[in-house]
Homo-oligomer: A and B are copies of this chain.
Amino acid sequence: MSIFWSPLVKDLTPYIPGEQPKHNNLIKLNTNENPYGPSPKVVEALKREAGDTLRLYPDPDAFLLKTALARYYALSTDQVYVGNGSDEVLAQAFLALLKHPQPILFPDITYSFYPSFCKLFQVAYKTIPLNDAFELCIGDYAKSNGGIIFPNPNAPTGRLLPLASIEELLRQNTVSAVIIDEAYVDFGGSSSATLINKYPNLLVIQTFSKSRSLAGLRVGFAIGQASLIEALERVKNSYNSYPLDRFALAGAVAAVEDMHHFEQTRNKIIRTREELVKGLRTLGFNVIPSAANFLFVRHPERDAAHLFQQLRDRLIIVRHFRQPRIENYLRISIGTDEECATLVDALRGILREPVRMN
């Protein structure tokens, strides 16, 4: 700490992202990346950007990308916002739509970045406990609030709320923003995008990092009615005029347009997930039903921190959160069929060993 720090910065509790190991001899199932590369059409579009035009600023309004997304979701371009990954879009939404005198509401078990945004932007919040099966109950959100936000499917549980429940929430909560963070929705959910023209307080946030295989490119977006989008644009234009570089803009457009690659890889991941569920259940794991590209699991007889380390010793990294209610769970990203088979074999070997005491 230093006397030059703002009082605010002294109080922050920054988010800790999953490990990004420097060496690639590991099976990396810890940050929900896509096991398959992006579309070859994306790669071609990106190669075309490497040239002299990099001396020029990118389009600050991201017109072509907004147009591609608007077409995809049957919306207009003024209903689309883009940012430097969905984390930036979320951060800006906290400032633009969730910073009110009333506390906002989100689940006790959810994306662990939300409390960091709240601290940074001094947004008051209350957490609402999921039930014992880690389900989100709409009725629990029927109280006055400054806004509501949660991922659907939820993170790190993978549990999906059906569209009918989202709509029930929107009918129940009409005076503050409802933000649905759909980072994982393409792996088994229905997007709330179809509800946008009906509910003026609904903002849907998505990312290119998961189902579009572009975590390395940093593109996220929000869709909602034009007045919500305008609030985000006002924040963006008070922060950074050009958050998306020329690669991000060109690659994201090509990704939206290649439906075939998207469907093919997404479906492969869903099939692998269902196989992995079976494999883990056979080994005695409790597996939370998942609509995401990861599973949230625990073994009734084994300590999760210990399992995490035993997998690490075998060069497989998964994610373990030291947090109340979920400290005995592991979050496992869906890799290729081969990676998941290796994981199951490793766990089988570990479970055959006698339980060691820490």
Contact = CB atoms under 8 A, between A and B. Distances in A.
A315 interface: no
Contacts of A3: 175
B216 A17 contact: no
Nearest to A14: B237
Interface stretch (A33-41, A271-279, A298-306): A33-41
Contact of A217 (B47, B215, B234, B246): B246
Contact of A38 (B54, B98, B176, B227): B54
A199 to B, nearest CB: 11
Interface in A8-35: 8-9, 12-17, 20, 22, 28, 31, 33-35
Nearest to A220: B240
Contacts of A15: 237-238, 241
Interface residues of A, number: 91
A96 B297 CA distance: 39
A241 B38 contact: no
A54 B37 contact: yes
A242 B5 contact: no
Candidate in A3, A51, A213, A217 with the most chain B CB atoms within 10 angstroms: A217
Contacts of A231: 2, 4-6, 9
A74 interface: no
A245 B227 contact: no
15 contacts: A2-B227, A4-B200, A6-B96, A12-B238, A22-B63, A46-B50, A50-B50, A58-B215, A87-B239, A120-B235, A120-B238, A216-B245, A218-B242, A218-B245, A247-B247
Contacts of A52: 37-38
B50 A43 contact: yes
Nearest to A234: B12
Contacts of A243: 84-85, 88, 218
Nearest to A32: B57
Interface of A: 1-9, 12-17, 20, 22, 28, 31, 33-38, 42-43, 46-47, 49-60, 63, 84-85, 87-88, 91, 95-100, 116-117, 119-120, 147, 175-177, 200-201, 209, 213-218, 227-228, 230-231, 233-248, 251
A214 B55 contact: yes
Given A12-B235, A37-B55, A245-B217, A240 B177 contact: no
A87 B242 contact: yes
A35 B175 CA distance: 51
Contact of A200 (B2, B38, B247): B2
Nearest to A97: B4
A222 B231 CA distance: 29
Contact of A53 (B85, B216, B251): B216
Candidate in A91, A201, A248 with the most chain B CB atoms within 10 angstroms: A248
B240 A91 contact: yes
A13 B20 CA distance: 38
